[in-house]
Amino acid sequence: MTFGSSQGTLGDSLWLTPLLRAFPGSTLKMFPSCRNVASLYEGLVSEVLFVDEPGVPPTVDMPTHVSQKMLVATGKPDSSIVPYIELRFDEIDWARGFLSQYGDVYRAVVIHTHNSGWANPDNWFARHVKPPKPIMNVLAAQAQRMGYKVFQFCNEPWPGKPDNFDPLDIDGVHRVRGLTLRQTAACYHLIGRMVSGDTGDPYLMLAAGGRLIMLLCPEIKWTGYRHHNVVYTEALWKGEKPRTCYHGFAEWKKAMNDLTFDW
């Protein structure tokens, strides 16, 4: 089968992976500007074509996650909707060697403070979904007190785009920059834990097999931002043990007190 996608952002691109996994060997058409995320589909599709009119993924109107809508529209309602990428053994071995410079990462967590658009002053929506930085500082400090190494990852800025890296204001954080998306995913696979807002990297963590605590901003109904489009409820895991926990911004103190990073 052939699918098209106009999305070049990390999160939206990963929402497409359950559909591609349900139809192995498909061809995917994307805008040329989406090349930065095309590496995510290695092993999931037979070919990625860059065209001026790629089309859009099939979907239906129903109150559930956007990936589930695509799978229902294509006759695969019972397929897993969890993001997925096909990491190679050599990529995981590379990440193991790379992370060895930081010591044992068995007890480590990624605190993700930014998203792909918040540094753009014209993108008010990105600032809305980004958790307040003081929350992330407190959570990172608590993780350190509990004996966890704290990591931050961020790719270098894309050409012509603002730098969205937002370093935590505490000492002892390992800041990793300049990796490719697949290298980052391999590191996420080994670390396996993240606390983040709603943006692309938490979906990359899930796609790599890790666990996620997501701090959700309030819904903005007039823009179409609804939690049911982004939240992986227990029923959507199709027999797999859920790897997500959700807390609202207003519940951050409860989230902090309840966090064990090993749920």
Task: Tell me, yes or no, whether 171 and 95 share the same domain.
Answer: yes
Which residues, in sequence order, are CB contacts of 145 under 8 Å at separation 6+? Answer: none
Does 81 fall in a domain? no
Specify the CATH number for the domain of residue 108.
3.40.50.2000
pLDDT at residue 70 is higher than 80: yes
Which tokens is 111 given?
Answer: 């605190």
Task: Tell me, yes or no, whether 23 and 126 share the same domain.
Answer: no
What is the pLDDT at residue 255?
Answer: 58
Q: What is the pLDDT of residues 89-102, one digit of tens each?
A: 999 999 999 999 99
pLDDT at residue 258 is higher than 70: no
Angle at 95 (CA atoms; ends 216, 22), nearest 5 degrees: 60
- How many domains does the chain contain in total? 2
Does 79 fall in a domain? no
Q: What is the pLDDT of residues 13-67, one digit of tens each?
A: 999 999 999 999 999 999 998 888 999 999 999 999 999 999 888 899 999 999 9
Task: Tell me, yes or no, whether 133 and 171 share the same domain.
Answer: yes
Measure the CA–CA gap between 226 and 28, rounded to whole angstroms. Answer: 27
What is the pLDDT at residue 9?
Answer: 83
Which residues, in sequence order, are CB contacts of 226 under 8 Å at separation 6+? Answer: 63, 219
What's the pTM value of the predicted model, to 2 decimals? 0.93
- CB distance 114 to 198 below 8 Å: no
Measure the CA–CA gap between 257 and 242, rounded to whole angstroms. Answer: 21
Task: Tell me, yes or no, whether 130 and 246 share the same domain.
Answer: yes
Task: Tell me, yes or no, whether 129 and 35 share the same domain.
Answer: no
Report which of 82, 86, 74 is spatially closest to residue 18, judged by C-alpha positions: 82
From the centroid of its chain, how far is CA 120? 20
Q: Domain span at residue 180?
A: 89-258
Does 78 fall in a domain? no
Task: Tell me, yes or no, whether 106 and 201 share the same domain.
Answer: yes
- Residue 124's identity, in one-letter code, is W
Measure the CA–CA gap between 149 and 262, rounded to whole angstroms. Answer: 14
What is the pLDDT at residue 251?
Answer: 73
Task: Tell me, yes or no, whether 25 and 93 share the same domain.
Answer: no
Task: Tell me, yes or no, whether 58 and 125 share the same domain.
Answer: no
- The H-or-E segment that residue 176 falls in is strand 174-177
3-state secondary structure of 250: helix
Does 146 fall in a domain? yes
What is the pLDDT at residue 116?
Answer: 72
The residue ranges of DSSP E strands in 192-261, in sequence order, are: 193-196, 211-216, 244-248
Task: Tell me, yes or no, whether 65 and 195 share the same domain.
Answer: no
pLDDT at residue 260 is higher than 70: no
Does 201 fall in a domain? yes
Which tokens is 109 given?
Answer: 């967590």
Task: Tell me, yes or no, whether 31 and 152 share the same domain.
Answer: no
